[in-house]
Chains A and B, each alone.
Chain A
């Protein structure tokens, strides 16, 4: 058990370090950029769209192309997210997908 807890695969470590290097670059980018560059409004608008666009791309196949239960649960989660804090909204999403899967199994 101890060996499992402390197991580190070399490729996993390499992947983590590659993730870390890219992430650190994005974090210090502002320290370097503010010395040299002034962002245009359009560039800033494009950069600002990056996080939601990526998140949307990640969920889209599961959310819209898996089944009715997943698509409906996605809509419920989105509405819950507008009104509730993060964790209750996630909980509602998870509970609704379980209920919807069960309900649709009987249809």
Chain B
């Protein structure tokens, strides 16, 4: 047996695939309601169920899909949406940079195909697996395909149900986006430095939103937060003032 054969054998065993499905299983119950919510809100914005399915299949990144929906309006600001999607998904650069060195036993094709579905949850479970043993391609697919199917089925179902729900403000669902994003923001909380980043972003965003039309407030807020994080890196208390100044300017 040559080494290529061994690679195949390690990566394609069905039991590894089943282990991946089992690892993801409890997350089905967390992902489904979020998918239903996404579908329902997408229907309110006028997306057809097929458009919801296409976005879920090609983009497959929940946070950025919610963000795109928030920016969705007539005429469709496609460039702002594409740019915001790209910015919010920049975190994948860190994820793939961290995971890639642990997958040296994958073939090149497996890496480039597999990373198409590198969503947050898939990444987290793969990293977790890599601590204990090898994250095989089979295991990765078990996790990834289960999330992929859960996401597509729940979002399409949500869009079919959502079109008969009516005005989302009636149930406070217009606030659901905001609530979801606040929860996600809090999941990034790592102490005072995060607070400064958030204060810089929040101030810059509100300021820009008040005085500049369009979705520039997202770019301005993101830039302020990134600058605040870069400034804070050498960890001197005086930099907090500088970060706030950046946010105000």
Contact = CB atoms under 8 A, between A and B. Distances in A.
Interface in B182-223: 182-189, 194, 197-198, 200-202, 204-206, 209-210, 217-218, 220-222
B21 to A, nearest CB: 22
A60 B202 contact: yes
Contact of B175 (A31, A60, A97): A97
Contacts, number: 294
A92 to B, nearest CB: 8
Interface string B88-113: 11111111111111000000000110
Interface string A57-92: 111111111000010011001101110011101101
A14 B222 CA distance: 25
Contacts of B172: 94-95, 97-98, 101
A31 B51 contact: no
Given A12-B47, A15-B78, A81-B183, A57 B226 contact: no
B35 to A, nearest CB: 12
Contacts of A26: 86, 89-93, 96
Given A19-B59, A19-B64, A49-B225, A74 B81 contact: no
Interface stretch (B7-15, B133-141, B145-153, B228-236): B228-236
A51 B225 CA distance: 9
B28 interface: no
Contacts of A51: 63, 88, 90-91, 184, 188
A105 interface: no
What bracket does the count of chain B residues touching chain A fall in?
Answer: 35 or more
Contacts of A18: 78-79, 81-82, 85
A23 B59 contact: yes
A107 interface: no
Task: Identify whether the interface residues of A are mostly helix, strand, loop, or mixed.
Answer: helix
A60 B205 contact: yes
Contacts of B115: 24, 27-28, 30-31
Contacts of A81: 182-183, 185-187
B82 A93 contact: no
Contacts of A31: 96, 100, 111-112, 115
Interface string A20-54: 10111111111101100001011111111111111
A7 interface: yes
B124 interface: no
Closest 7 CB pairs of A and B: A53-B225, A57-B221, A30-B96, A93-B179, A49-B229, A22-B86, A30-B97
Given A26-B93, A55-B188, 19 more contacts: A5-B160, A17-B58, A20-B58, A22-B85, A22-B89, A23-B60, A27-B89, A27-B92, A29-B96, A49-B228, A51-B184, A54-B84, A60-B201, A61-B209, A62-B175, A78-B185, A86-B34, A89-B183, A90-B183
